[in-house]
Amino acid sequence: MIQIESLHKHYGAVHALDGLNMTVEPGVVYGFLGPNGAGKTTTLRILAGLARPTSGRVVVAGVDLTSDGRTLSHRTGYLPEEPAFYPWLTPREYLDMLGHLHGLDAAERTIRVKELLQVVNLAEAGKRRIGGFSHGMRQRLGLAAALVHKPEVLLLDEPVSALDPSGRKEVLELIEHLSGQCTILMSSHILADVERVCNVVGIIARGRMIVQSPREELMDRYAQPVFEAEGEDVAAVKRWADTVRKQDWAAAVSLDGDRLRVTVSDIQRARRELLVSAVAQQIALRRFEEVRPSLEDVFLQLVEKEAIQ
């Protein structure tokens, strides 16, 4: 459904995209990941027809952007990170206007607007002015706007990054509900959300694709064992973390307050030596356990490896 070949986008001397190759199959929910500045938003803007590539080939839902970009808007829906609205309109008026722009007749628009307001849980707010909406309500309305014309491809740029837990839950449930109805490309830096709703993952860095794979295959291939520990004394845990980083079996070490997380390359040695080192430094532990690696662990491992190459 999406085919990108050797895509470049330059802003002066800055290479936002530097030979990106990417394939998205029909019907999947594709998690599009990368550190800040990796080129995720630039890619989405090009796919949505809002930016032109410097070079390369992009085909979306059978439309070649380099030769036939005009028909693209009828095939794709786009939710930017910060959707903008006319604050004096109501959701009904706004969605009806978009339906008219997409060529739906009056009867179609009436049915579609009612349907979408139910889907995004805004039916009761359909006659309120958008200017008074919360951030979560605006995100849900933005998703409805992207779906007015029943697009084949839905592009979501950080759809839940600024929402509270309740708002995130609502939007993620909507994305899960849409799974299979269209192809979804979702950019996000909240890895737990991607792990929940996406069945394929692509990771980019410095404008290039590092890896793309079905999520479970990615985890099976790259996930390394992880240990977590929590201590009573933050300063003592920090000193312990500095010691652990020097061990050749410690692939990655992260510290969040009193919580230490260690990704290891040699599970047997880590099992023998990690807890022993805590005892040697007289660390008072509240918790120590081997945990299942997460998508975030794999992401950090691959991005850090790319950064040092």
The residue ranges of every structural domain in the chain are 2-214, 224-292
pLDDT attached to residue 308:
64
pLDDT attached to residue 69:
62
For residues 67 and 161, what is the distance between their CA atoms, to the nearest angstrom?
A: 34
What is the distance, to the nearest Å, from the Cα of residue 127 to the centroid of all Cα atoms in its chain? 32
C-alpha torsion 33→37→38→41, nearest 10: 60
Give me the CATH topology for the region 224-292.
Alpha-Beta Plaits (3.30.70)
Q: Who wins on pLDDT, 169 or 71? A: 169
Q: What is the mean pLDDT of the chain?
A: 91
Buried b (16+ CB within 10 A) or exposed e, 286-299: eeeeeeeebbbbbb
Residue 68 has pLDDT above 70, yes or no: no
pLDDT attached to residue 91:
97
Instruction: Evaluate whether 102 touches 78 at the Cβ level (below 8 Å).
Output: no
Please report, as a single letter, which amino acid is at residue 308: I
**Residue 181: how many CB atoms within 10 A of its CB?**
13
Confidence of residue 70 (pLDDT cuts 50, 70, 90): low
pLDDT attached to residue 166:
81
Give percent of the chain with pLDDT exceeding 70. Answer: 98
Ranking 69-78, 119-128, 178-187 by mean pLDDT, the lowest is 69-78
Q: Which CATH architecture has domain 2-214?
A: 3-Layer(aba) Sandwich (3.40)
Average pLDDT over residues 10-39: 94
pLDDT attached to residue 309:
64
Residue 122 to residues 116, 126, 158, 218: CA-CA distances in angstroms? 8, 6, 21, 37
Instruction: Evaluate whether 260 touches 237 at the Cβ level (below 8 Å).
Output: yes
Give percent of the chain with pLDDT exceeding 90. Answer: 70
Residue 304 has pLDDT above 80, yes or no: no
